[in-house]
């Protein structure tokens, strides 16, 4: 679908500030049924956008979850009315640090208040209401999208039938914070960052590229990197240089450079910070009569060392203890964290089964 946008007055943020007006860019696929009970909200990861799928339409850019969302796919657009919006704080059509301030007409930059995952969800909730949907059949997302799904579950259980929480953690460990902090420091170390006020000059391309390179290492596994690159070398000039040499180096630089073209450095700072600050179970979940409220599916991937299986299991345990009907799956994969994007077959079967056959739930 073409990207649409919804602008609303604003909202109170977790940090206490009020932000408004707020725009969310979003896309939808499929048709909302008469009962308005077939809406599924898809939630993107750190650097994603509203374009989850092209529905396989020729000439349209592929979506980031093309293999999971579409006609006949696990999130079947023939059955579900699927919505995906760019997160609050993002740079792909939604309000974020690159958006002009209403009072000055200049980009917010670092004057944008601190955002949290719960703020992203609050904005999505207003979009869902705007679309005339009283209650979502499901929310589903991986990585930061999984955190948003969890935030929906803990803050708005009455608005959901089900939540699918993939490849994520209820809260970041210090190691996970540390990887994000290195990325932020790389951005902030770039003189072109200029304390976030770079919008009229050069963007901090070198810093943001390094940040993305760190990210990519954490998204893959030791094994998937070994399979993809081994120790293969690119051409090696006669004179030694510190330019790329091993294929893995060329790949990382390529990914870093591409990222810079499509992503705003300040958005990267705000969104990584929101992820680090998130703690799904603080305040703790209220315990409900067993089986009341949304059904929950939590899945982790065994080669995902960024969000290890134990963190998924913890989420499932907390949800179970709070009385939600919860399933937990440990999915075989060598893809590392990227498995939630790439492990189509196994993940697709699991998600489809969970969404379509509630009577068989564990």
Q: Which residues bind a second copy (CB under 8 A)?
A: 15, 110, 113-114, 171-175, 177-179, 181-182, 184-186, 188-191, 206-207, 209-210, 213-214, 216-217, 220-222, 225-226, 228-231, 240-242, 245-249, 252-253, 256, 269, 273, 276, 279, 305, 308
Residue with structure tokens 């094994």? 223
Neighbours of 242 (CB within 10 A): 6
8 vs 305 by CB, closer to a second copy: 305
Is 143 known to be catalytic? yes
Q: Given 209, 304, 327, 333, which residue is catalytic?
A: 304
Cβ-contact 149, 44 below 8 angstroms: no
Give the nearest distance from C-beta 151 to a second copy in angstroms: 17
Is 337 known to be catalytic? yes
C-alpha 53/C-alpha 62 separation (Å) is 6
C-alpha 178/C-alpha 116 separation (Å) is 18
Give the nearest distance from C-beta 303 to a second copy in angstroms: 12
Give the nearest distance from C-beta 168 to a second copy in angstroms: 15
Give the nearest distance from C-beta 148 to a second copy in angstroms: 20
59 vs 174 by CB, closer to a second copy: 174
Q: Given 50, 85, 143, 303, which residue is catalytic?
A: 143
User: DSSP class of residue 83?
Assistant: E
Cβ-contact 210, 252 below 8 angstroms: no
C-alpha 190/C-alpha 71 separation (Å) is 44
Give the nearest distance from C-beta 179 to a second copy in angstroms: 6
C-alpha 114/C-alpha 277 separation (Å) is 10
Query: Which residues lie below 8 Å from residue 157, measured CB to CB, with a gap of 6+?
Result: 288, 293, 294, 324
DSSP lists the bridge partners of residue 104 as: none
Is 236 known to be catalytic? no
178 vs 287 by CB, closer to a second copy: 178
C-alpha 246/C-alpha 269 separation (Å) is 30
Query: Which residues lie below 8 Å from residue 80, measured CB to CB, with a gap of 6+?
Result: 30, 38, 39, 40, 137, 138, 355
> Beta strand 22-29 with 81-85: parallel, antiparallel or unpaired?
antiparallel
Q: Is the dihedral of CA 195, 201, 274, 299 positive or negative?
A: negative
Give the nearest distance from C-beta 54 to a second copy in angstroms: 31
31 vs 175 by CB, closer to a second copy: 175
Q: Which residues are catalytic?
A: 143, 304, 337
């Amino acid at each position: 679908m073409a990207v649409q946008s919804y602008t609303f007055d604003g909202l109170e943020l977790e940090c206490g500030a009020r932000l408004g007006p707020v725009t969310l860019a979003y896309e939808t696929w499929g048709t909302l049924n008469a009962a308005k009970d077939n809406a599924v909200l898809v939630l993107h990861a750190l650097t994603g956008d509203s374009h989850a799928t092209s529905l396989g339409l020729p000439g349209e850019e592929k979506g980031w979850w093309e293999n999971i969302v579409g006609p006949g796919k696990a999130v079947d657009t023939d059955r579900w009315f699927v919505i995906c919006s760019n997160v609050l704080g993002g740079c792909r059509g939604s309000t974020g640090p690159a958006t002009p301030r209403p009072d000055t007409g200049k980009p917010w930059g670092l004057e944008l208040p601190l955002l949290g995952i719960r703020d992203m969800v609050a904005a999505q909730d207003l979009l869902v209401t705007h679309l005339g949907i009283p209650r979502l059949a499901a929310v589903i997302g991986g990585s930061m999208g999984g955190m948003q799904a969890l935030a929906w579950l803990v803050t708005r259980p009455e608005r959901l039938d089900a939540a699918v929480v993939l490849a994520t953690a209820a809260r970041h460990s210090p190691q996970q914070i540390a990887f994000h902090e290195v990325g932020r420091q790389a951005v902030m170390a770039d003189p072109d960052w200029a304390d976030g006020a770079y919008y009229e000059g050069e963007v901090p391309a070198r810093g943001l590229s390094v940040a993305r390179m760190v990210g990519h290492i954490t998204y893959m596994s030791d094994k998937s990197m070994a399979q993809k690159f081994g120790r293969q070398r690119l051409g090696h000039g006669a004179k030694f240089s510190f330019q790329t040499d091993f294929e893995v180096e060329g790949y990382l630089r390529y990914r870093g450079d591409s990222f810079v073209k499509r992503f705003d450095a300040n958005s990267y700072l705000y969104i990584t910070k929101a992820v680090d600050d998130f703690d799904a179970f603080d305040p703790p979940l209220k315990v409900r009569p067993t089986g009341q409220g949304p059904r929950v599916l939590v899945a982790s991937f065994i080669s995902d060392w960024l969000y290890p299986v134990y963190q998924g299991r913890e989420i499932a345990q907390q949800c179970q203890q709070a009385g939600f009907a919860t399933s937990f799956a440990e999915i075989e994969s060598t893809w590392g964290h990227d498995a939630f994007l790439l492990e189509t077959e196994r993940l697709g079967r699991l998600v489809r089964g969970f969404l379509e056959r509630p009577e068989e739930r564990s």
